C-alpha cells in the first residue's frame, strides 16, 4: 500500500510503500533526512470539489470546462448557466412568436 507523510522539515508530502514505515529517507524537496511515519493518509485521496467526467471517469474540477484527459466539454457550472440562458432564450422566442401571431390574428379580424 502506498502511504503519504509530510516531510518533518519542509512539510512536503512524500509517498512511500508501507514496507518502509519508520525508515529514514532523504526528502526529495529539501534533501534532509526525514522519518516515514505510519500516521498518514492514503495517497489516492480525492478532493471533494472534484467530479468524475461522464465520458472517461477522470476526476475534474467543477469549474473546469473541458476534461483534461479526453477533452469532453463538461463544465458543471458553465452547463447550468448555459441551460438557464437557453431556457430564457427559448421562452423569449416563443413569447415573441405568440405576440406576432396575436397581432396577425387581430389584424386579420
Ligand atoms: Zn523536506
Ligand atoms: Zn473525460
Express each pLDDT in 19-41 by its tens digit. Answer: 999 999 999 999 999 999 876 45
Express each pLDDT in 61-92 by its tens digit. Answer: 777 778 888 987 765 566 678 889 999 999 99
Which residues fall inside 5 Å of ion ligand 1, going by CB?
7, 9-10, 12, 27, 29-30
Which residues fall inside 5 Å of ion ligand 2, going by CB?
53, 55-56, 58, 67, 69-70, 72
How far away, in angstroms, is 60 Cα from ligand 2 center?
A: 8
Q: What is the pTM of this model?
A: 0.35
Contacts of 73 (CB under 8 A, 6+ apart): 65, 66, 67
From the list 44, 20, 28, the residue with the least C-alpha distance to 7 is 28
Which three cell numbers, joined as nine digits, stand for 85? 440562458
Which ligand minimizes its atom distance to the CA of 60? Answer: 2
Amino acid at each position: 500500500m502506498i502511504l503519504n507523510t509530510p516531510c518533518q522539515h519542509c512539510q512536503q508530502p512524500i509517498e512511500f510503500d508501507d514496507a518502509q514505515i519508520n525508515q529514514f529517507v532523504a526528502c526529495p524537496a529539501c534533501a534532509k533526512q526525514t522519518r516515514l511515519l505510519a500516521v498518514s493518509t492514503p495517497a489516492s485521496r480525492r478532493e471533494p470539489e472534484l467530479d468524475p467526467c461522464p465520458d472517461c471517469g477522470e476526476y475534474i474540477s467543477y469549474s473546469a470546462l473541458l476534461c483534461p484527459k479526453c477533452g469532453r466539454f463538461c463544465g458543471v457550472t458553465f452547463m447550468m448557466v448555459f441551460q438557464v440562458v437557453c431556457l430564457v432564450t427559448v421562452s423569449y422566442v416563443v413569447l415573441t412568436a405568440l405576440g406576432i401571431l396575436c397581432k396577425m390574428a387581430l389584424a386579420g379580424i
